[in-house]
Amino acid sequence: MTRLHTGALEIGELDALSRRDSSAHRLDPRAKLLATAVFLATVVSWGRYEIVGLLPLAAFPLVLGAIGRVPCGFVARKLLIAAPFVLVLGAFNPIFDTAPRELAAGIEISGGWISYLSIVLRFGLTVAAALALVAVTGMNRLCAAASILGAPRIFVTQLALLYRYLFVLAAQAQRMSRAAELRAPGRRRMSIALFGSLVGHLLLRTFDRAQRIHLAMRCRGFDGDIPLVRPMRFGPWDAAFLAGWIAFFAAVRVFRLPDLLGGLVLGVWG
Amino acid sequence: MHMADALISPVVGGAGWAATLALAGYSARKIKVAADDTSVPMMGVGAAFVFAAQMLNFTIPGTGSSGHLGGGLILAAMLGPCAAFLAMASILTVQALFFADGGLLALGCNVVNLGFFPCFLAYPLLFRPIAGASPTRARLTAASMVAAIVGLQLGAFGVVLETKLSGITALPMNTFLLMMQPIHLAIGVVEGLATAAVILFVWQARPGILHAGSVRPDADSGAVPKKLVAAFLVAALAMSGALSWFASTKPDGLEWSVAKASGVAQMAAPVAAETTWPAVDAGTSLAGVVGAALTLIVAGLIGLAVRRRFAAKA
């Protein structure tokens, strides 16, 4: 039986999340995009053995996701699906890096485990932040933000078109695949020759569809830009959002906040 | 395979982004979109087509496991290098944003590995020459296979290089290479077969869809195509940077024999064969890159001088 990824459905869910409303959704997409970019740069800026310093950064995806009402289970599922490559590759670290390093308070384990944990943390932080960004912003507004921030217009327009027609073509591929299955009951797998024919037909239809789309867009006055229904305005809240998070990332990078916090607590206690 | 944010360092990520932005700007300028040109919808919808095609799994003959299409080569055959590069970049962007396949910071590197190598190197330098001006079934199949295999090998090597340069993983480079390259050889064969199947079907059904450049001979076959030169420049720089790490610090055979003959004792250590994989050293690779650049400049000057001499003779 031909198998079809259910990837398209996942995109639909993320798309639906991005159409909700919350104060996070109403922020200017440029502010969210830039904040996420600085966040990612901060996460990867440490050396390979950093664990504790990374922890406070979890605040960014958590806060953004909470305000944007992004379901935790959804993010967790995506993390699990995306995990294998990174986790398997990172698992080589404990094998090859066995020099002991201090984990905390005099406890020593091999450096490879520390760097592996760091990799897992980085993975969780970066993927969660990217998902939160898309869930509260949506593809169209992200494209618009990218275009204003300097991406080539051709690229942004065709990215928006890709997103729009992804669902359409995925559904068409699904119909073609089901039609092939129904016409060959009992055939267990799709040969490469059949695949070539199926995808070849899909490509021919794609070409015709693209020409129809182009004519339709030209008839409706398309001049190379896809206009936004809700115009973007960079207001004081957006500036505060961006500046506040950048300051937080800088503080986390420069000072080891967990150490400060722990020292404070222990100082009060003891 | 996609690079992940978890395994990347800021320098490598930034370099990947710089390369991607430069290539994207170059491609955007090269695609001259007239008002009645269908380029942009074709690019966008073509990219969506590749996405949809990736959802269809086929059986790999002989193994029983399933595979799916990568698509960079088909895009290049449909749209030409520049448009295909932008389309691949957008596919990778959507994958990074919606499938957590690769990360936003690693997106630059992924676009280079999976966009630049197939669209700007494998397609124009391998697919088009092998397919030739009047392609046959055999030539198209061979072109697809070779271009897919080489393109994926380059992409896999790119991943290994970027991971090693980032320094987050402790995997030694030769182990990583031994893992990645054979796997991607097999993936390349499968990709080549699948690409060939699709291209052959389309070529027989409606050959006009394939990018006109793939069936049209160069108008001025005398001049060296500039893109070819640029591609070799990039490849030379990359190779010199990477291979210089393996450069031995011991004197080469000529120096050794000269020193021996003149009696000058230059080396303190015995000249033993050493092919250990050295640690990545930015200093060596800079020297390697500078050396490659100088070599190319000298070669270019020699070429100019030779051409002028022959032109004067004729």
Residues of chain A found within 8 Å of residue B59, distances taken between Cβ atoms: 189-192
C-alpha Rg value of chain B to the nearest Å: 22
**Which of B56, B66, B75, B109 is best to mutate for the A interface (most A CBs within 10 A)?**
B56
Q: For residue A82, give the nearest of B78, B100, B172 by CB distance.
A: B100
B225 and B135 share one domain: no
Can you tell me the mean pLDDT for B132-141? 85
B269 lies in a domain?
no
Alpha helices in B113-225 (DSSP H): 128-131, 137-166, 173-205
B198 lies in a domain?
yes
pLDDT > 70 in chain B, percent: 63
**Which residues 98-137 on chain B approach chain A with CB closer than 8 angstroms?**
98-101, 103-105
Closest C-alpha among B242, B245, B230, B252 to residue B296: B230
- The predicted pLDDT at position B265 comes to 45
B90 and B229 share one domain: no
Give tens-digit pLDDT for B252-288. Answer: 555 555 555 555 544 444 444 444 455 555 555 565 5
Task: Give the total residue count for chain A.
Answer: 270
B171 and B121 share one domain: yes
B314 and B292 share one domain: yes
B258 lies in a domain?
yes
pLDDT level of residue B35 (50, 70, 90 thresholds): very low
Can you tell me the mean pLDDT for B129-135? 84
Two tokens, residue A15: 């798309």
* CATH number of the domain encompassing residue B88: 1.10.1760.20
B271 lies in a domain?
no
B209 and B288 share one domain: no
B249 and B172 share one domain: no
- The predicted pLDDT at position B314 comes to 45
B206 and B234 share one domain: no
Range of the structural domain that residue B245 is part of = 219-263+279-314
B272 lies in a domain?
no
Closest C-alpha among A85, A169, A147, A51 to residue B4: A85
B270 lies in a domain?
no
B145 and B120 share one domain: yes
Query: How far, in Å, CA of B96 to CA of B103, rounded?
Result: 5
Backbone angles phi, psi at A191, to 5 degrees: -80, 165
Domain count within chain B? 2
Beta partners for residue B313, in sequence order: none
Q: Touching check for B152 and chain A: CB below 8 Å?
A: no
Residue of A nearest to B75 (CA): A203
Query: How far, in Å, CA of A71 to CA of A83, rounded?
Result: 19
Cα torsion for B289, B294, B297, B302, to the nearest 10°?
-130
- The predicted pLDDT at position B154 comes to 92
Q: Touching check for A127 and chain B: CB below 8 Å?
A: yes
Q: For residue B86, give the nearest of A119, A158, A172 by CB distance.
A: A158
| Residue A145 contacts residue A24 (beta carbons within 8 Å) | no
Average confidence score pLDDT of chain B: 74
B161 and B228 share one domain: no
B209 and B228 share one domain: no
Q: Which residue has the higher pLDDT, B182 or B306?
A: B182
Q: Which residue has the higher pLDDT, B52 or A250?
A: A250
Residues of chain A found within 8 Å of residue B101, distances taken between Cβ atoms: 82
Can you tell me the mean pLDDT for B153-181? 86
Q: Touching check for B208 and chain A: CB below 8 Å?
A: no
State whether A158 and B101 contact (CB < 8 Å). Answer: no
Q: Touching check for B34 and chain A: CB below 8 Å?
A: no
Q: Touching check for A192 and chain B: CB below 8 Å?
A: yes
Give tens-digit pLDDT for B218-238. Answer: 333 333 445 545 555 565 556
Does pLDDT of B188 surpass 60?
A: yes
Which residue in this structure is represented by tokens 């020292």?
A: A263
Backbone angles phi, psi at A102, to 5 degrees: -80, 125
pTM, entire model: 0.75
For chain B, first and last CA: distance in Å?
A: 53
Query: How far, in Å, CA of B284 to CA of B14, rounded?
Result: 21
Smallest CA–CA distance, residue A262 to chain B, in Å, is 27
Give tens-digit pLDDT for B81-119. Answer: 998 999 999 999 988 888 878 888 899 999 999 999 999
B57 lies in a domain?
yes
Backbone angles phi, psi at A101, to 5 degrees: -130, 155
- The predicted pLDDT at position B285 comes to 56
Can you tell me the mean pLDDT for B303-313? 59
Q: For residue B205, give the nearest of A200, A214, A218 by CB distance.
A: A200
- The predicted pLDDT at position A4 comes to 45
pLDDT by residue for chain A (270 residues), tens only, comes to 334 445 555 677 888 888 888 888 888 999 999 999 999 999 988 888 888 888 889 999 999 999 999 998 888 888 888 888 788 888 888 888 778 877 766 777 888 888 888 888 999 999 999 999 999 998 888 888 888 888 888 888 888 888 888 888 888 888 888 888 888 877 777 788 888 888 888 888 888 888 888 888 889 888 777 776 667 788 898 999 999 999 999 988 888 777 777 778 777 654
- Report the amino acid identity of residue A108: E
Q: Touching check for A269 and chain B: CB below 8 Å?
A: no
Q: Touching check for A9 and chain B: CB below 8 Å?
A: no
